[in-house]
Structure 1
Amino acid sequence: MSSVSPASSAARPRFRQPCAEDLCVATPFVTTDHTNQDVLEVFTEHRELATLPVTENDRPIGLINRSIFLSQMSKPYHRELYNRKSCIAFMDKEPLIVDAAMSIEALTFRTVEYGEKALTDGFIIASEGRFLGVGHGLQLMRVVADIQAERNRQIMHSIDYASIIQRAMLRASRDALAHTLPDASLVWEPRDVVGGDFYHFVAFEDGWFAALADCTGHGVPGAFMTLIASSLLTQAIEQQGPRDPGALLAAVHRGIKQMLGQADGTDAMTAESNDGMDAAFFWFDNATRRLTFAGARCALFVMHPGEAHDHVIDGERKGVGYIDTAID
Structure 2
Amino acid sequence: MKQPLTRVEELTKMPPPATAGQLCIKSHYVSPDTKNADVINLFSTYHAVFLLPVVEDERPIGMINRSFFFTQISRNFYRDIYEKKSCTTFMDKNPLIIDCNCSIQNASSKFIEYFDKFLEGGFIITNNTKYMGIGYVIDFIKYISDLNAEMNQKLEAVVKELDFKANHDDLTGVYNRAAFISKFNELRSTSAGTLVLFDIDDFKSINDTFGHPMGDAVIKEIITMIKKILPDNSIIGRFGGDEFGFLIEELEERHIRYIIQKIMYNFHTTPLTCIPERFITISVGIMISAVDVNFENIYHITDTALYHAKKQGRNRVILAEIINGSENVNYKEFLFF
- Report the TM-score, using the length of structure 2 for normalisation: 0.39
Larger helix share, 1 or 2: 2
* TM-score, normalised relative to structure 1: 0.40
Higher alpha-carbon Rg: 1
Structure with the larger RCO, 1 or 2 (CA within 8 Å, 6+ apart): 2
